[in-house]
Amino acid sequence: MAAIVSVVSSTPNAAAASSLSKEKMKLGSCNFNSLLWQGKRPSFATPKSLSKVTMSVATNVSRFESITMAPPDPILGVSEAFKADTHEMKLNLGVGAYRTEDLQPYVLNVVKKAENLMLESGENKEYLPIEGLVAFNKATAELLFGADNSVIQQQRVATVQGLSGTGSLRLAAALIERYFPGAKVLISSPTWGNHKNIFNDAKVPWSEYRYYDPKTVGLDFDGMISDIKAAPEGSFVLLHGCAHNPTGIDPTPEQWVKIADVIEEKNHIPFFDVAYQGFASGSLDEDASSVRLFASRGMELLVAQSYSKNLGLYAERIGAINVVCSSADAATRVKSQLKRLARPMYSNPPVHGARIVANVVGNPVLFNEWKEEMKMMAGRIKSVRQKLYDSICAKDKTGKDWSYILKQIGMFSFTGLNKAQSDNMTNKWHVYMTKDGRISLAGLSSAKCEYLADAIIDSFYNVS
Model confidence over 161-216: pLDDT tens digits? 999 999 999 999 999 999 999 999 999 999 998 999 999 999 999 999 999 999 99
**E strand spans, 265-317:** 269-274, 301-306
Q: How large is the average pLDDT for residues 117-138?
A: 96
Same-domain pairing of 341 and 420: no
Predicted pLDDT at 81: 85
Predicted pLDDT at 30: 46
Q: Which residues 6+ apart lie within 8 Å of 274 measured at CB?
A: 144, 241, 242, 287, 288, 291, 303, 304, 305, 306
Same-domain pairing of 185 and 240: yes
Predicted pLDDT at 288: 98
Q: Is residue 230 part of a domain?
A: yes
Final residue belonging to a domain, choices 308, 333, 362: 362
Range of the domain at 388: 74-106+375-462
Catalytic residue ranges: 192, 273, 309
Same-domain pairing of 436 and 305: no
Instruction: Confirm if 417 and 437 have CB atoms less than 8 A apart.
Output: yes
CA dist., res. 349 & res. 31, Å (int): 52
pLDDT in tens, 14-37: 444 455 454 544 444 445 444 444
Confidence band for 55, pLDDT divided at 50, 70 and 90: low
The count of domains in the chain is 3
pLDDT in tens, 215-254: 999 999 999 999 999 999 999 999 999 999 999 999 999 9
CA dist., res. 191 & res. 173, Å (int): 16
Same-domain pairing of 268 and 347: yes
Same-domain pairing of 262 and 398: no
Q: Is residue 143 part of a domain?
A: yes
Final residue belonging to a domain, choices 308, 335, 362: 362
Predicted pLDDT at 57: 58
Q: State yes or no: pLDDT of 353 exceeds 70.
A: yes
Q: Is residue 115 part of a domain?
A: no
Predicted pLDDT at 52: 54
CATH code of the domain containing 458: 3.90.1150.10
Q: Which helix (H) or strand (E) holds 253?
A: helix 253-265
Same-domain pairing of 27 and 97: no
pLDDT in tens, 413-457: 999 899 999 999 999 999 999 888 999 999 999 999 999 999 999
- Lowest mean pLDDT of 97-101, 164-168, 293-297, name the range: 97-101
Q: Is residue 120 part of a domain?
A: no
Predicted pLDDT at 53: 54
Confidence band for 7, pLDDT divided at 50, 70 and 90: very low
Same-domain pairing of 200 and 78: no
Q: Name the DSSP class of 105.
A: B
DSSP helix/strand/coil, 260:
helix
Q: Which residues 6+ apart lie within 8 Å of 53 measured at CB?
A: 7, 8, 9, 20, 46
Average pLDDT for the chain: 90
Same-domain pairing of 137 and 102: no
Other C-beta atoms closer than 10 Å to the C-beta of 8 total 11
CA dist., res. 74 & res. 76, Å (int): 6
Q: Which of 10-19, 41-50, 115-124, 218-227 has the highest mean pLDDT?
A: 218-227
Q: Which residues 6+ apart lie within 8 Å of 374 measured at CB?
A: 278, 279, 282, 284, 310
Q: Is residue 369 part of a domain?
A: no
Q: How large is the average pLDDT for residues 262-280?
A: 97
Q: State yes or no: pLDDT of 283 exceeds 50.
A: yes
Same-domain pairing of 293 and 380: no
Respond yes or no on whether the N-terminal peptide bond of residue 214 is cis (omega within 30° of 0): no
CA dist., res. 218 & res. 409, Å (int): 12
Predicted pLDDT at 8: 46
CA dist., res. 424 & res. 426, Å (int): 5
- Lowest mean pLDDT of 54-68, 201-215, 390-404, name the range: 54-68
Q: State yes or no: pLDDT of 293 exceeds 90.
A: yes
Is the pTM higher than 0.95? The answer reads no
Q: How large is the average pLDDT for residues 3-12?
A: 47
Instruction: Confirm if 311 and 357 have CB atoms less than 8 A apart.
Output: yes
Q: Is residue 380 part of a domain?
A: yes
CA dist., res. 91 & res. 361, Å (int): 34
Confidence band for 79, pLDDT divided at 50, 70 and 90: confident
